[in-house]
Amino acid sequence: MNFSNKCSRLFGRFASHKFFPPLQRLINAIYVKIFHIELAEFAPSASYPSLNALFTRALCIPRSINPNPIVLISPCDSLITQIGKSEDKQALQIKGMAYSIEELLGQKLDREFYYVNFYLSPRDYHRYHAPCDMQIYEVRYFSGELLPVNMPSLHKNQHLFARNERVVVVAKTPSHKWLYFVAVGALNVGSIVMHFESKIQSNAKSHNISYTYSTPLSVKKGEELGMFKMGSTIVLFMEQMLLDVPINQKVKFAQDIGTYA
């Protein structure tokens, strides 16, 4: 285990610890102030029994989901850091820095994919949702590093997404097109949680593992898939995708971001 993984595990223990209530309320308030967290849609900061509970806060006010089946929604609150179509099975983590999609996903590909990168900062809502109706066929866990995924780190570290710990959800859209939903770990991410597969234990195992489903798991657009226990990145790959949002735009979960075939 490298230094960043050790630090992340230690921070995860701190964030999960329930301190004496007055101290916990102070810790929560300081975190909210430092990162300018808006809690209008969430419970008050003092109500969370640990810092991790604050990180993984659930929405108290539901957001409406566009019922149009071909409309793609943002899976999370985030900043869009890159959009494109792969070339020679390569995608960009940031402008000018490519990585192998096959290495990231752990499989050979016979076609190119459209992709979009969603960066979750420490201030963002940390749960992620299905961007469209999905049939899940497999989930893969890859151990790896836990390098930061902020902009300076994206510019500094080559092949960052493929080096970091990650969970890959292999699915199909209602039109039977392949979709890959990749949750990338980062520094201080104590865990990547997938609600539909409790056996996924990130930042805990030193080997890769996958789970396949003989009967695909049906997930509706907007349904909660899981959560990060701190900020990180989602990378979405689809065979067909037409996005209506630009790079460097902030998006919210449930916001319309384009269409797919």
Q: What is the DSSP string of 77-91?
A: SEEEEEEEE-BTTEE
Q: Which residues of the chain have pLDDT under 50?
A: none
Distance CA 41, CA 181 (A): 26
Catalytic residue among 78, 143, 202, 232: 232
77 classed as catalytic: yes
pLDDT of residue 207: 78
What amino acid occupies position 226? G
What is residue 12's predicted lDDT score, i.e. its pLDDT? 66
CATH topology for 71-259 is Glucose Permease (Domain IIA) (2.70.70)
What's the pLDDT score for residue 42? 97
Q: Which of 105, 232, 85, 87 has the alpha carbon at shortest distance from 170?
A: 105
Query: What does each C-alpha distance from 245 to 36, 116, 117, 251 come to in angstroms?
Result: 24, 10, 12, 9
How many contiguous H segments (helices) and E segments (strands) does the chain have? Answer: 6, 16
pLDDT value at residue 181? 98
State residue 139's pLDDT score: 97
């995708």: which residue's tokens?
241
Instruction: Give which of 117, 96, 73 is closest to 259, Cα–Cα.
Output: 73
Give the pLDDT of residue 25: 96
What is the C-alpha to C-alpha distance for residues 68 and 259, in angstroms, rounded to an integer?
Answer: 10
Q: Helical H runs in the chain?
A: 3-16, 21-35, 51-55, 101-105, 151-156, 160-163
Which two structure tokens, joined as six digits, stand for 192?
């990547």
CATH 2.70.70 segments of the chain:
71-259
Q: Answer for the pair 139, 197: CB distance below 8 angstroms, yes or no.
A: yes
As given in the structure block, the two tokens for residue 124 are 């963002």
8 assigned to active site: no
User: 109 pairs with which residues across the strands?
Assistant: none
Distance between terminal CA atoms of the chain?
42
Q: Which of 129, 143, 191, 202 is catalytic?
A: 129
Query: Residue 61 belongs to what H/E stretch?
Result: none
CA distance linking residue 63 with residue 153, whole number of Å: 32
Angstrom distance (rounded) from CA 232 to CA 120: 5
Please state, in angstroms and as integers, the Cα–Cα distance from residue 59 to each residue in 77, 88, 187, 197, 203, following that order.
12, 40, 24, 22, 26
Marked catalytic residue, from 4, 8, 45, 77:
77
Question: pTM of the entire structure?
Answer: 0.91
Q: How far apart are CA 7 and CA 58, in angstroms?
A: 26
